[in-house]
Structure 1
């Protein structure tokens, strides 16, 4: 992953596109939004917004659900 960007700094143009590509790749490899946010030093909301702007199909929420245990 790219070097940590100073928190709160504005990303525009080529820097934003580069970060968006790296975040998209990491997300496609199975990393969570929270893990990507921690790696880059950005917030969860920022990473979520960048992925959404990049037309990445976001995964549904994980974790245990009540119905899933009974189905198995």
Structure 2
């Protein structure tokens, strides 16, 4: 179900529930929201909202962090 969807197509009802479950599985498998969005052809915001609606605990942001220089 998580195949590329046409952008702007409204996803509702059982189809939305199925898509949310598929996205959750991908996210729990370690994929980022951005990667999932690219794979499905949906926006970052759409994927984020669907994951949030389905009760997924989102990971914190990654990347390098700046720490205070110790003296």
Q: Same fold (TM over 0.5)?
A: yes
1:50: how far off? 0.1
For the pair 1:8 / 2:11, whether they are aligned, the reply is no
Runs of 4+ in 1 over 6 A off after TM superposition: none
- Work out the number of aligned pairs and report it: 69
Runs of 5+ unmatched residues, structure 1: none
Query: Deviations 1:12-32 (Å, cap 9, x if unpaired)?
Result: 011101110000000000000
Runs of 5+ unmatched residues, structure 2: none
Over the residues paired in the alignment, what is the CA RMSD in angstroms?
Answer: 1.6
Instruction: Give the equivalent residue in structure 1 for 2:43.
Output: 43
TM-score by length of 1: 0.89
Structure in which a larger fraction of residues adopt helix: 1
1:4: how far off? 1.1
